[in-house]
Amino acid sequence: MCARQFNLEASATPGRPLNQAQCNEANIIDDLRTKCMKKVEKKCRHLHMGAVQFSLKTEQPCRRIRFWTLALRRRLKIKVNPSLWKRAKKKAKLEVMINTLSLTDIKAELTKARKDYHAAKRITKVTG
């Protein structure tokens, strides 16, 4: 590809327009480059971010989901960093004693938080 482009540039006269054969060669080279770029783009990693814009209406339910997920993990004896736990609880603005809740109560709260998040997201999408 590079050799073809170099030969085309070498055969072109500076300051003069390209003849028909040179013009065809330039178009063929351009088509090949476009095909190569499209093929490479398919193999690249795509980052799918920003599907939902930031909104205060969705942020609080999202924080509650994070907290109840950590509470569930903690109840299932999966190690949770204490400082992460404290920050999540503070951000969620919850004053609940987790020790008094059963596993089913925690799961119910998590489900409720997810429903609240989806409702807020739906409202944000309509009004946004």
Mean pLDDT of the 87-116 span = 91
pLDDT value of residue 76: 92
Q: What is the pLDDT of residues 2-54, one digit of tens each?
A: 888 888 888 888 888 888 888 899 899 999 999 999 998 888 877 776 666 67
**The two structure tokens encoding residue 97:** 């004693």
Q: Is 24 exposed, middle or buried (0-12, 13-18, 19+ CB in 10 A)?
A: exposed
Mean pLDDT of the 80-89 span = 92
**pLDDT: is 13 or 109 the higher one?**
109
